[in-house]
Structure 1
Amino acid sequence: MAILKIARMGNPILLQTAEPVPDPTAPEIRRLVADMVETLLDADAAGLAAPQVHVPLRLFVFRVRPERVTALAEDTPTGPGVVALINPVVEPAGERIVVEWEGCLSIPGLRGAVPRLERIRYRGVTPSGEPVDATVSGFHARVVQHEMDHLDGILYPMRMEDFALFGFIEELTRAAAASVHAPREGGRDG
């Protein structure tokens, strides 16, 4: 296994539509998935799509840790391991759109507020050829939609509606901390 180099925003591969994987059970696909899992874990990330590691194929790996799930019933952790989804299909499972902060390994150091469907259904296959079919919500749904976008040549800033909610993590953190301590308009602290 190996840690793979991650393509950063500006690399043309991130703007391409990825090709379907002809044989999800092929040994080279299993090796790619193993390397992507190792890269994901090394980066301590939630998801990683094949185009992000310079491979224009329709597959991604992801994990949803228990501490990241919301109170929504279908926002479920992926368990102790990482899920590999090959040739995924995502469809809406509701109409509600929510705006939440996202980051991306291909856009290091930045965060943005991105609108996404709160609830989706996704399907695909694993590297062993097992079918996957799940309906999820919350953070779980957000991660899958983010990674699916990578397969379609879309980076999260392309989905943003308000660029006032886009910036460097340390600046956004500093601004949020300052706003907590700022005096209320028309009055004094206290």
Structure 2
Amino acid sequence: MRITLGWKVPCHPDAMGTPSHHAPLAERVEQLLADGGPLRIVAAGDPVLRRGTERYDGQLGSALLARFVEALRVTMRAAPGVGLAAPQVGVPLRIAVIEDPAPVPEEVRLARGRVPQPFRVLVNPAYEPVGGTRAAFFEGCLSVPGWQAVVARPAEVRLTGQDEHGRAVDEVFGGWPARIVQHETDHLDGVLYLDRAESRSLSSNQAMTERWSQPTPQEAARALGFELP
């Protein structure tokens, strides 16, 4: 892991000492945080999920960033989910959080490579595949409630970016953690998991419970008529 010296706040400040072109974003975040508690998660169809995000370069300031990150953590845990991106709460900044206690049976852990992940903040993340292996599993999304679908993704990725303190991150993820960081980084590019999914696999949560709770989607692929990598 490389270490940098923290965030720079560019552009000329206004009379209040706040970067003028950053003020609307900071004001938006302040408004969201005013009520306390979990934030409202926006659903598919809201343009904020499709427009992509601004690279974070100090728009919120360190104190407001810390409060926003904590709100993302509270919201993710309350949902509950294993990741949450800033656009999912209406903020077009390149920030996401992940955390996965991975409370799953051993056969699921082995099949999916799902291992516990501590709480992490991803700032300006980007990923690239490592090798050519792909893995396909059902995914869901807090912004597409009630549905899941099979997505084939690189089984291992290299993630680069920073943490919430501006320290550089350069790390390889495999298994389920690789899927989480891809899913959340995609959100920051205006991509939903449905864009990458096998359309014939789309299943309601009820169908998932009744039919497709197996560790892998092989039975679903045979029954619903889609291919796996």
Please, what TM-score do these two structures have when normalized by structure 1?
Answer: 0.83
Q: Residue type of the partner of 2:93? A: L
Q: Residue type of the partner of 1:15? A: R
Q: Is 2:153 aligned against 1:116? A: yes
* Aligned equivalent of 2:163, options 126, 134, 142: 126
Q: Is 2:69 aligned against 1:33? A: yes
Residue 7 of structure 1 corresponds to 42
Q: Residue type of the partner of 2:62? A: A
Q: How does 1:161-172 map to 2 (within 5 A)?
A: 162-172=198-208
Residue 175 of structure 2 corresponds to 138
The separation in 1 between residues aligned to 2:56 and 2:99, in whole angstroms, is 21
The separation in 1 between residues aligned to 2:212 and 2:137, in whole angstroms, is 15
Q: 1:31 to 1:126 in 2, by over 3 A?
A: same
Q: Residue type of the partner of 1:6? A: I
Q: Is 2:195 aligned against 1:158? A: yes
Deviation readout 1:139-177 (Å, 9 max, x if unpaired): 0000000001100001111101x3221021102332348
Gaps of 5+ in 1: 181-190
Q: Is 2:89 aligned against 1:53? A: yes
Q: Residue type of the partner of 1:130? A: R
Q: Residue type of the partner of 1:78? A: Q
* Aligned equivalent of 2:51, options 2, 6, 16: 16
Deviation readout 1:60-93 (Å, 9 max, x if unpaired): 0001324458449x865323xx111101121111
Q: 1:158 to 1:129 in 2, by over 3 A?
A: same
Task: Answer whether contact 2:102 2:114 (CA < 8 A) is retained.
Answer: no
The separation in 2 between residues aligned to 1:114 and 1:125, in whole angstroms, is 26
The separation in 2 between residues aligned to 1:75 and 1:166, in whole angstroms, is 22
The separation in 1 between residues aligned to 2:211 and 2:117, in whole angstroms, is 33
Q: Residue type of the partner of 1:20? A: R
The separation in 1 between residues aligned to 2:69 and 2:61, in whole angstroms, is 11
Taking only the aligned residue pairs, the percentage that are identical comes to: 34
Structural RMSD (CA): 2.2
The separation in 2 between residues aligned to 1:93 and 1:166, in whole angstroms, is 27
The separation in 2 between residues aligned to 1:77 and 1:121, in whole angstroms, is 18
Deviation of 1:2 after TM superposition, in Å, equals: 2.9
The separation in 1 between residues aligned to 2:109 and 2:156, in whole angstroms, is 12
The separation in 2 between residues aligned to 1:6 and 1:106, in whole angstroms, is 7
Q: 1:106 to 1:93 in 2, by over 3 A?
A: same
Q: Is 2:123 aligned against 1:86? A: yes
Deviation of 1:130 after TM superposition, in Å, equals: 2.4
Deviation of 1:97 after TM superposition, in Å, equals: 1.2
Gaps of 5+ in 2: 1-35, 214-218, 220-229
The separation in 1 between residues aligned to 2:149 and 2:114, in whole angstroms, is 21
Task: Answer whether contact 2:137 2:151 (CA < 8 A) is retained.
Answer: yes
Aligned pairs, number: 174
SS in 2 for 1:26: helix
Task: Answer whether contact 1:49 1:60 (CA < 8 A) is retained.
Answer: yes
